[in-house]
Amino acid sequence: MAEQRVTLLQGGLVVDGSAAPGQPGDVLLVGERIAAVAAPGRIPAQLLAGDVEVIDCSGKVVAPGFIDVHTHDDAAAIEKADMLPKLSQGVTTVIVGNCGISLAPVVTDAPAAPLSLLGSGQFRHASMRAYAAAVDAARPGVNVAALLGHTALRMRHMPVLDRPANEAERAAMAADMQEAMDAGALGLSSGIFYEEAYAADVPELVAVATVAARNGGVYATHIRDELAGILPALQEAALTARQSGLPLVISHHKCAGPANWGRTRETLPLIEALARGQEMAMDVYPYTAGSTVLREDLVDGVIDILITGSKTHPEMGGRYLKDIAAQWGLSQQEAARRLKPGNACYFQMREDDVDRVITHPLSMIGSDGLPHDERPHPRLWGAFPRVLASYWRERGLLQLEQAIHKMSGMSARRFRIGERGLLAAGFMADVVVFDPKTVRDGATFEAPRQFSEGIEKVWVNGVLSYTGEARAAVARAGRFVRRGQGMPPSV
Ligand code: ZN
Ligand code: CU
């Protein structure tokens, strides 16, 4: 048998991802797995025979590598395979294919919006199996688990998108869903907020989601409306999941637009009520700005809008729409029309709403980072350390154990990722060591590509892959992660 790498993480505060209180302890990594977690000095001696690399973790927190449940890293995992924006935050697994947008199974050189969010160079995988093989071949810096995007299926199988799918188109989408589940996908995502999927009705979604349900999958959705119509949009998502028989995750839950501020007081009780009758959770990122394609209908003249990129006027990237509009002597809507196609950050949320969602027991953390934006929203590089710094250390809105649970154990359970998300013997050795006194995000809207502070070491599948000292990926050990088998149905 080949000699296995043995690493002892000694004397840290072990926060295991389950939300249980942290305890001083030692964690032993052998090969790609966690071999033991024990009180200080109590790792069985026979496990420590031979060459052991000892890492002093005193004063540090040892936690499961974070799971970013909401990403658009489908193509980045292949073409920007070091995955530094994620690895440098302590993230060891990303879930791709969110918001209805997935690379597989679309083959094109010229992806239309919203698929273009994933860049244009990687639409070459006609099946989830082919995508999984491409991820494994790229050996990215973090693990990759995938949802199949409903909008991608529409764009693949429908000649026009302004109507619900017909019988034959539903059957074609369902066949792709089956292929994806066979290849290990976690389930289905949708983004019926986007024009390209807005005409989809509940029967169309159920036809596809039922296939995911039969195979133990989940359903994540960017709901139809996050503004005035948010309550019916939540009901629609819950109905779709109920009729299909699968667990639901509401993507990046928010109340957008000034007229909607404060309404998490209505949405969260609705989600709680629904969650009593069906499995339901949500993801959230710790910022008051969202980011997506530039759309005039999101320009209300009230909120600040930062242009992060424009095809027609690239020189305007990094400037606020109101300043551009003033310079051009146009209304903001007219200026937005001129800047299209483009991307923008919309300061469309209020902090008390974001705080309420992040501290809610049904939420977990997903960055929603956009790795192909020229000036990405800072959530791409900073979301996870920002939760630790702002929500735990500075404002005390979450306990450390809760914050970590929302980034690891809960995420793995909700999305059916087996053997990850906890520090426990037998689990895969995805681990982060960070300094609780200094951990914080560095990325800002002005300077969005900044390393976080305090993330000291990150292991992926037992391989040391990032060090804060080097501020670099020191290895790439990620792989395509298949849906966990035999996971408990309730979380
Ligand atoms: Zn979305
Ligand atoms: Cu998204």
Q: Give 26's strand partners.
A: 38
**So what's the pLDDT on residue 69?**
98
- The fraction of the chain above a pLDDT of 90, given in percent, is 96
Mean pLDDT to the nearest integer, 11-39: 98
Residue in the block written with tokens 């999958």 = 217
Query: For residue 56, how far is its CA from the centre of ligand 2 (angstroms)?
Result: 38
pLDDT for position 108: 97
In tens, the pLDDT along 415-456 reads 999 999 999 999 999 999 999 999 999 999 999 999 999 999
Query: What spacing in Å lies between the alpha carbon of 113 and ligand 2's midpoint?
Result: 13
Closest of 41, 7, 8 to residue 24, by C-alpha: 41
Per DSSP, helices labelled H in 215-345 are 230-244, 264-275, 321-328, 332-339
Give the Cα separation of 234 and 109 in Å (integer): 35
> Does the pLDDT at position 23 exceed 90?
yes
Give the DSSP H/E element, type plus range, for residue 363: strand 363-365
Question: Residue 3: its pLDDT value, please?
Answer: 76
**Ligand closest to the CA atom of residue 117:** 2
Residue 367 CA to ligand 2 centre (angstroms): 8
pLDDT of res. 491:
43
Judged against a pLDDT cut of 70, whether residue 490 lies above it is answered with: no
Task: Say how many Å lie between the CA of residue 152 and the centre of ligand 2.
Answer: 14
- Is residue 415 a contact partner of residue 218, using CB atoms and an 8 Å limit? yes
The full length of the chain comes to 491
* Dist. CA 368 → ligand 2 center (Å): 5
Helices (H), 329-470: 332-339, 351-358, 379-386, 400-405, 409-414
CATH number of 6-64+422-439+448-471: 2.30.40.10
The pLDDT tens digits for 404-413 are 999 999 999 9
- What's the gap in Å between 53 CA and the centre of ligand 2? 40
CA distance 277 to 115: 34
C-alpha 72 to ligand 2 mean position (Å):
6
CA of 71 to the centre of ligand 2 (A): 6
Q: Class of 97-288+349-366 per CATH?
A: alpha beta
Contact 279, 98 (CB under 8 A): no
Q: What is the whole-number distance in angstroms between the Cα of residue 220 and the centre of ligand 1?
A: 10
User: What pLDDT band is residue 374 in, cutting at 50, 70 and 90?
Assistant: confident
Average pLDDT rounded to a whole number, residues 109-127: 95
Are 193 and 117 in contact by the 8 Å Cβ rule? The answer is: no
Domain ranges across the chain: 6-64+422-439+448-471, 97-288+349-366, 292-345
Per-residue pLDDT tens over the stretch 228-245 = 999 999 999 999 999 999
Read off the pLDDT of residues 147-176 as tens digits, 9 standing for 90 and up: 999 999 999 999 999 999 999 999 999 999
Residue 233 phi, psi (nearest 5): -65, -40
Place of tokens 């426990």: 424
> CA angle at residue 368 from 258 to 261, to 5 degrees?
15
Q: Which one of the ligands is nearest to 194 CA?
A: 1
Residue 94 alpha carbon to ligand 2 centre in Å: 12
Distance between CA 315 and CA 384 in Å, rounded?
31
Q: Which residues have CB atoms below 5 A from the ion given as ligand 1?
A: 99, 222
Distance linking the first and last C-alpha atoms of the chain: 38
Distance CA 95, CA 69 (A): 5
Residue 226 Cα to ligand 2 middle (Å): 13
The architecture that CATH gives domain 292-345 is 2-Layer Sandwich (3.30)
Percent of the chain with pLDDT over 70: 98
- Residue 198 Cα to ligand 1 midpoint, Å, equals 13
Predicted confidence at residue 486, as pLDDT, reads 56
Q: What is the mean pLDDT of residues 61-76?
A: 98
- Expressed in angstroms and rounded, the spacing between residue 253 Cα and the centre of ligand 1 is 9
Spatial distance between the Cα atoms of 247 and 166, rounded to a whole number of angstroms: 25
Contact 155, 115 (CB under 8 A): yes
- Residue 267 pLDDT level (bands cut at 50, 70, 90): very high
Nearest partner of 454 among 371, 392, 366, judged by Cα? 392
Neighbours of 251 (CB within 10 A): 25
Average pLDDT over residues 348-358: 98
- 285-298 mean pLDDT: 94
**Ligand 1 midpoint to CA 426 (Å):** 34
**Residues in a beta bridge with 13:** 24, 61
Place of tokens 């792989």: 479
* Ligand of minimum distance to the alpha carbon of 250: 1
Q: Using 50, 70 and 90 to split pLDDT, how confident is the model at 2?
A: low
Pair 103, 111: CB distance under 8 Å = no
**DSSP states of 283-310:** EE-S-S-EEEE--GGG--SSS-EEEEEE
Residue 201 scores a pLDDT above 70: yes
Residue 489: the pLDDT is 46
pLDDT, mean over the chain:
96
Which residues sit opposite 37 in a β-bridge? Answer: 27
Q: What is the pTM of this model?
A: 0.97
| Radius of gyration of the chain from its Cα atoms, rounded to whole angstroms | 22
Provide the phi-psi class of 11: left if phi over 0, else alpha when psi is between -120 and 50, else beta: left
Q: In CATH terms, are 6-64+422-439+448-471 and 292-345 the same topology?
A: no
Identity of the residue numbered 416: R
- Rounded to an integer, the average pLDDT of 459-484 is 97
Distance (angstroms) between ligand 2 centre and the Cα of 70 equals: 6
Looking at all shown ligands, the one closest to residue 197's CA atom is 1
